[in-house]
Amino acid sequence: MSNPTLTAALQRRAPLAASPNTNTYRLLHRAADGFPDWTVDQFADVLVAHFYSNQETRFLASAENGFLADLAEQTRAVYVKYRPTQASTLSEKERAALAPRVPLIGEPVDEVVVQEHGLKFLIRPGAGLSVGLFLDMRELRAWVREQAAGKTVLNCFAYTCGFGIAALAGGAARAVNVDVAKPYLEWGQHNAKLNGFAPDPQDFISGDVFDWLKRFGKRGQTFDIVIIDPPPYSTTRETRFSIQRDYAELVARAARVTAPRGWLIACANAAELSLASFKAKVRAGLNEAGTSARLIHLWHEPEIDFPVAPGEKPYLKIGVAQMQT
C-alpha cells in the first residue's frame, strides 16, 4: 500500500484487526487520520465509505486515484454514502440519492453478518445512510452486557436493538426496545435470533419514545437500566425533538421510569452539544424528575478507531447516572 497516511491509519487499528471475535470497526476517521472528508467503516469483508463534502469532483478524484481501491483489496465490495448536514429534513427520494444501493467497487452484497465481541449483527450495506450498527457505541454495548445480569432493560430509540441484544447476552431478565420505525425493530428481532435468543415480540415496541416513557410512568413501571440514544433531530406524529431544546425533558421522563439504584444511560451524538452543556442538561432533567442521582461514568467515542483530531473535541457524549433512591 503506497499511501503512508492510509498505512498509519490501518496500523492504528491493528489490535482490532487481530481480534478473533470482532470484525467490524472504523478504518478511517476523517481529519484525525488525515482524510478530512472521509470515514470508512469495516463490516467483515464489506466497506462502507462516508463522504462529507459537497464537492463531488473531489470524491471522484479520490476514488479514481486508487484510494478506495487500495482499501478494497481484501474486500467483496465498497459502498459509498454522501452525508448530508441534517438527514432528518430529507425526503425519501433525497435519501436514496445520497446512499446508492449498488456498490462503487465490487459486486452487490445485500446482507453481511458481522461480529462485535462475539455478538452477531446483520448489516445491509445498501439499505440507506445507516446500515445496521453504530460502531462508536461498541464500548457502551460491552458495558451494558457486563452489567445486565438479572436486570430489566429499556432501550429507547432502539434502532436495530444493539443495546437490547447486548443486554440479553449479559443475562438480562428482560430487554424492551422502543423505536418509532417498525422495520428497524423487525431487524432487531432478526439480530436477536442470530444470537440464539427468542425474546417476546411484545418487547419490540413501535411508537414514539416520549409517549411510551409517559405510559410507563403512569403505570408505575420501572426498569433497572434505561438507555436513551436519540438522534439530534427527529419528527414523529406526536413530537418534534431537538437535542438542544428537548434533551433535559427526555432525561426527566427516562429518570421517572428508572428503578431505585438503577442506571440511566444518557447518550448524545451531537458535535454541537458541548460536554458541559450535555452534563447540565442531564442534571436539569434529573432535577426536573425529582430524583436523587449522580453521574458515575462518562464516555465518548472509542479512541482506537475514532481518534480526535488536534484542536477538535469528541462528538459523542455518554453519561451514566445512578439513582440513589
Q: What is the mean pLDDT of residues 140-149?
A: 98
Secondary structure of residue 77 in the 3-state scheme: strand
Residue 312 is predicted with a pLDDT of 94
Residue 127 is predicted with a pLDDT of 92
Domain with CATH 3.30.750.80 in the chain: 4-107
Residue 119 is predicted with a pLDDT of 98
Cβ neighbourhood burial of 220 (10 Å; 0-12, 13-18, 19+): exposed
Is residue 1 pLDDT above 90, yes or no?
Answer: no
Q: Which residue has the cell 451514566?
A: 320
State the pTM of this model: 0.93
Q: Which CATH number fits domain 4-107: 3.40.630.30, 3.30.300.210, 3.30.230.10, 3.30.750.80?
A: 3.30.750.80
* CA terminus-to-terminus distance, the chain: 57
Q: For the segment 216-247, what is each residue's pLDDT rounded down to a tens digit?
A: 999 999 999 999 999 988 777 667 888 999 99
Secondary structure of residue 297 in the 3-state scheme: strand
> What is the overall mean pLDDT for the chain?
91
Domain with CATH 3.40.50.150 in the chain: 135-323
Cell of 35: 482524510
Q: For the segment 55-90, what is each residue's pLDDT rounded down to a tens digit?
A: 554 555 555 446 778 888 889 999 999 887 655 566
Q: What is the mean pLDDT of residues 109-115?
A: 98
DSSP 142-198: HHHHHH-TT-EEEEES-TTTHHHHHHHHTT-SEEEEEES-HHHHHHHHHHHHHTT--
Q: Which CATH number fits domain 135-323: 3.40.190.10, 3.40.50.1360, 3.10.450.50, 3.40.50.150?
A: 3.40.50.150
Give Cβ neighbours of residue 164 (< 8 Å, ≥ 6 apart). Answer: 153, 155, 158, 175, 176, 177, 188, 192, 199, 203
Q: What is the mean pLDDT of residues 14-35?
A: 96
Is residue 42 pLDDT above 90, yes or no?
Answer: yes
Cβ neighbourhood burial of 237 (10 Å; 0-12, 13-18, 19+): exposed
Q: For the segment 191-225, what is each residue's pLDDT rounded down to a tens digit?
A: 999 999 998 999 999 999 999 999 999 999 999 99
**What are the start-end ranges of the H helices in the chain?**
4-12, 14-17, 56-64, 67-71, 92-98, 138-147, 162-169, 182-194, 209-219, 243-256, 275-288
